């Protein structure tokens, strides 16, 4: 049985729910790993009367680090581990030298806090900028990931602690929005401490789903057999090409089937089409009774078939997380754990399609 994890934001929104009760609820329901989200860390600092804005929360002052150690101690005392801190955004591929340097400093600023949290992993989302200030040129992005990996290794060598790792995740609306396009960067970077982060929602949002399909199927391919065949071919490639040790983290979420007559693409060109769906309508895995419809079990089966032994970690954004009350936290903790248990059962029923090759 894989160990279960959950992102702090998937237990309640930081602006509404204090962090400690969320952590205690997670522990009480059986989670063993915590994915610490930036806003939740900022909220915890604010609870300790310290500046919590994005520019202040990663300054390695003694006051900030003391609170970080307190948080690490709390999570450990609850029988859990902070598996990672995230996200880093708009880091790689920046073309302005000064902006690039500032972005890299934001990454390096995490390192002392990672020690305080007792975690070895930070991960960044592929750059979502669509303008000319950034590039997805392979060599440029590879060099950036390589340099960041080397910086993490240098910090680890100086302080003598475990190797710090950089994970790279392809968001479904980023420049590099597929597992293959992020894997080619990780592979070419060729650093032991640089790996890929896989997210079932982001994989499915590109390769399987289209919430705006006017036929109401919610899929890229209206034909379900074609949709499943396309996904399985991609997941067969994943099993055959990505070693387990290079998968640094795996996140899972389903999402709600939308009514395309009322759920329409944003009119503001600055808002990615998939963003409203991703931020407001994700679900825990296997929640078909709530409108979940994506084959999260197929992606999960493939990830586990690589030999991945890390946590299955929930990353669910939903409007329901903005509601107030501790019962909201308890309800989401229970729903998430139940969804993961159902997912594990469904994975066991997935035919090992990857053994047959591409369909």
Report d(CA 14, CA 82) in Å as an integer: 17
What pLDDT is attached to residue 141? 98
* Statement: residue 42 has pLDDT above 90: yes
Mean pLDDT within 333-358: 97
Residue 346: count other Cβ atoms within 10 Å of its Cβ.
Answer: 17
Res. 15: pLDDT tops 90 = yes
For residues 349 and 302, what is the distance between their CA atoms, to the nearest angstrom? 12
Taking each helix axis as running N to C, give the angle between helix 326-348 and helix 296-305, from 0 to 180 degrees, rounded to the nearest 10: 60
Per residue in 139-156, pLDDT tens? 999 999 999 999 999 999
pLDDT-derived band at 319, boundaries 50, 70, 90: very high
Gap between the Cα atoms of 255 and 275, Å rounded: 12
Structure confidence at residue 359 (pLDDT): 85
| Residue-averaged pLDDT of the chain | 97
**pLDDT surpassing 90 at residue 99:** yes
Over residues 55-80, the mean pLDDT reads: 97
What pLDDT shows up at residue 23? 98
Of the candidates 291, 279, 296, 293, the residue with the CA atom closest to the CA atom of residue 340: 296
What integer is the mean pLDDT of 270-293? 97
Residue 153: what pLDDT? 98
Mean pLDDT over residues 328-340, rounded? 98
- Per-residue confidence band for 312, with pLDDT thresholds at 50, 70 and 90: very high
Q: Which residue has the higher pLDDT, 255 or 55?
A: 255
* Percentage of the chain lying above the pLDDT 90 cut: 98
3-state secondary structure of 80: coil
Taking residues 266-292, what's their average pLDDT? 96
**Span 176-190, average pLDDT:** 98
Burial 65-90 (b: 16+ CB within 10 A, else e): eebbeebbebbeebebbbbbbbbbbb
Over 90: is that where the pLDDT of 36 sits?
yes
Residue 1 has a pLDDT of 79
Delineate the domains of the chain, giving CATH numbers in brackets.
Answer: 4-356 (3.20.20.150)
Average pLDDT on 262-277 reads 95
- CA–CA separation, 240 vs 221, rounded Å? 24
Q: What is the mean pLDDT of residues 263-283?
A: 95
Q: How far apart are CA 202 and CA 123, in angstroms?
A: 15
Residue 233: pLDDT band with limits 50, 70, 90: very high
Residue 336: how many CA atoms within 13 Å on its side-chain side? 38
Per-residue model confidence (pLDDT) at position 219: 98
**Tokens of residue 355, six digits:** 């053994």
């Amino acid at each position: 049985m894989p160990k279960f994890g959950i992102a702090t934001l998937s237990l309640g929104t930081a602006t509404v729910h204090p962090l400690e009760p969320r952590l205690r609820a997670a522990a009480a329901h059986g989670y063993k790993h915590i994915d610490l989200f930036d806003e939740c860390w900022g909220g915890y600092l604010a609870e300790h009367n310290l500046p919590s804005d994005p520019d202040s929360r990663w300054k390695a002052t003694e006051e900030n680090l003391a609170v970080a150690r307190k948080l690490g101690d709390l999570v450990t005392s609850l029988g859990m581990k902070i598996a990672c801190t995230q996200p880093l955004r708009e880091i790689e591929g920046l073309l302005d030298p000064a902006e690039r340097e500032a972005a890299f400093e934001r990454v390096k600023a995490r390192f002392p806090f990672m020690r305080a949290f007792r975690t070895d992993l930070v991960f960044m989302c592929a750059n979502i900028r669509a303008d000319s200030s950034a590039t997805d040129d392979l060599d440029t992005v590879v060099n950036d990931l390589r340099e960041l990996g080397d910086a993490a290794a240098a910090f680890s060598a100086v302080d003598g602690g475990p190797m710090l790792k950089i994970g790279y995740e392809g968001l479904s609306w980023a420049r590099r929005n597929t597992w293959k396009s992020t894997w080619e960067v990780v592979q070419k970077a060729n650093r032991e401490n640089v790996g890929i982060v896989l997210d079932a929602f982001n994989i499915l949002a590109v390769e399987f789903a289209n919430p705006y399909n006017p036929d109401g199927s919610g899929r890229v391919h209206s034909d379900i057999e074609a949709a499943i065949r396309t996904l399985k071919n991609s997941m067969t490639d994943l099993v055959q090409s990505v070693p387990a040790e290079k998968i640094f983290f795996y996140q899972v979420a389903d999402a709600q089937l939308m009514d395309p007559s009322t759920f329409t693409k944003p009119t503001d060109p600055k808002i990615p089409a998939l963003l409203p769906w991703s931020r407001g309508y994700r679900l825990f895995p296997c929640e078909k009774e709530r409108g979940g419809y994506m084959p999260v079990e197929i992606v999960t089966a493939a990830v586990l078939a690589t030999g991945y032994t890390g946590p299955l970690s929930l990353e669910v954004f939903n409007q329901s997380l903005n509601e107030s009350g501790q019962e909201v936290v308890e309800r989401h903790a229970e729903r998430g754990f139940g969804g993961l248990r159902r997912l594990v059962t469904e994975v066991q029923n997935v035919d090992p399609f990857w053994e047959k090759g591409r369909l």
